[in-house]
Structure formats: C-alpha cells, structure tokens
Structure 1
Amino acid sequence: MIYRLDRRFVLQAVGVNLLIAGLALWLALVAGTLWLALLGVAVAVAMMGRAVLLWVRPPAVARTTGEGIVLGGPLTVKQVEVTWTEVEGVSFDEQRFYLDRGEKVLAFPMAYAGARGPELLRDVYDRLNTAHGYERFELG
C-alpha cells in the first residue's frame, strides 16, 4: 500500500512553486533580451507544472509491502526502510506511531498520512502479525 502526504503539508510546497513561477514570469516581463524572457517563461511553466503535479499526486510518505515498510520521503523526513522481522515492538499515541527496532525507536507522525493515518496503523499491525506468523501485536 502507498500512503501519500496529506494535502495540508503539500500546500506549502505548492505555494513555493507558484511563488517561483510568479518571479520567473516577472523576470520574463522585464527581461532585456529575448533569451532571458524565454528562460523566465520556461521556468514559470515548469514550476506551475510541478505545483499542479504536487497537488494532484502528493509524494508518498509510507509504503508497506509484505517484506517491510518505507517511511519518509520528499517534503517530510529522511527515508527509512524497516523489515517487519526486525521490529520488536510497536506503539502509538494521538500524534505518532513508534516502531521499536531494538537499538532504535522510529517515530512517525500520523499527520503526514492525514485521514489515512488509522488505516496505515492497522496495515502496520496486520503486516507485523503476518510476518511473525501469529497475532503478536494488537491494536489497542
């Protein structure tokens, strides 16, 4: 399963892209040469396209497979890959869920997944139990 970044976090990136597009269009209007004007228009079109792409298809923040989970990605935290068998414990509170890997505990903000946060948590528990072959982890 792929869980995408909630729109409230994407909105900031969309705004930055549109701001850069506006500045590039301004450069195109006041440019003294044709090449500089064309460069400004090209940058503006690229940034507007990127803003639309971010809005339509936000970047993934979590990917679950039968082997493990990948957390993080563009616009969030550094990407970390964890296999289900290296997870020793899992817990959650209202804001985050925690994967205990023995030497490290990874905290992942549920807000990144937005309304799909509870679905992500259920998916993590189900996949952990499947990987361990029995119902070891229970969702509280």
Structure 2
Amino acid sequence: MSTPADVIAHQTVYYDPEFYSAWPALVRCANGDLLLAFCRTEQHLYPSGDIVTVRSTDNGHTWSEPVVAYRTLIDDRECGLTVLPDGRIVMHVWSTHWKNLNYTSLAPGSYPQATLDRWMAQIAQPEYVAAAHLHGGWAIT
C-alpha cells in the first residue's frame, strides 16, 4: 500500500476570472525549474481552448506570466508533460472537435441558449471543421 503525500501548503498559481482553467500537468525540469501546463478556455464546454504554461524558478514560490504553448482552432483540452532522460520535455495534447450534437443534447438550462448558439456558429465555420483534420502527429524538439 502506498503512503499518501503530506500536503504542506495550498497555493493559487494562476487565476483569471475571464477564463476557465483546468487539467494541470506539472514537471520538474532538468535545471530544477517547475513547469506547469494547463488548459485555459472561455468555459468548460467552449469549443476552443489553449494550452498555457507557467514556470517557477524558485521551487513554486513565484510563477511567471502565462504563455500560450499550444493553440489551434479546435479545443486543445488536456495536456501532459514528460521529461525525457536527456532533459527535453514532451508536451502531449488531447484535442476535442465539437459537433452540434454535443451542445443540442445537453440538459435544458445547462448553458444560456445564446451561448450555445454562439458556440454552434463557431464550430460550423469551415476553418474549425478543417482544423480537426490537421491533428494526429508527434513532434519532439
């Protein structure tokens, strides 16, 4: 049986009331920095999101301003970070391509209808539809 970790403090690393932020991934870089990546989007079911990173050079006492690390037209939702043996960091991203059914099948009142209409108009745009077909590759740099 594993031993639970001792929680020594809670800290807000990033907060902006204009965004919904979720699904963090945290690694310690080869140089000792902490790198945190997370999804930042308008709302939980918004059809487009960014993967954002912040960095701490002092063991989490302070954090950099957010930097958009990955952005496409579709919903770049969840990510992970892996430190390779040579110190390079791989970011893996899971993206969602929303369809009208995702919104029309929500429980009544889940979101204001004007919001759902705006989101459905966004996912109907040709560039949104085309963006879903551009994914599926890997790159390590």
| TM-score of the pair, normalised by structure 2 | 0.24
Normalized per residue, which structure has more helix? 1
In terms of Rg, which structure is larger? Answer: 1
Instruction: Between the two structures, name the one with larger relative contact order (CA 8 Å, sep ≥ 6).
Output: 1
| TM-score of the pair, normalised by structure 1 | 0.24
